[in-house]
Amino acid sequence: MADNYLEKKFEDMRERASAKQAKEERLRQAAWKKRMDAYRKRLADEAAATQKPSDVAEAED
């Protein structure tokens, strides 16, 4: 009886730890994606700002 109880407690502990790790990984991935999106936006803004006005006018034509 005690063995089953301890095994169940241990399995529950492992499941909770695994779920916690998975949640932390999802949060890390979401934070990384958010940083990459901000970086891409900043690069696009910098590229647009460094274009000459004549280049922009030619691109629009």
At 20, the pLDDT band (50, 70, 90 cuts) reads very high
The answer on pLDDT for 1 being more than 70 is no
Distance CA 38, CA 53 (A): 25
At 3, the pLDDT band (50, 70, 90 cuts) reads confident
Distance CA 5, CA 21 (A): 24
pTM equals 0.62
DSSP of 24-59, one letter per residue?
A: HHHHHHHHHHHHHHHHHHHHHHHHHHHS-HHHHHHH
Distance CA 9, CA 59 (A): 66
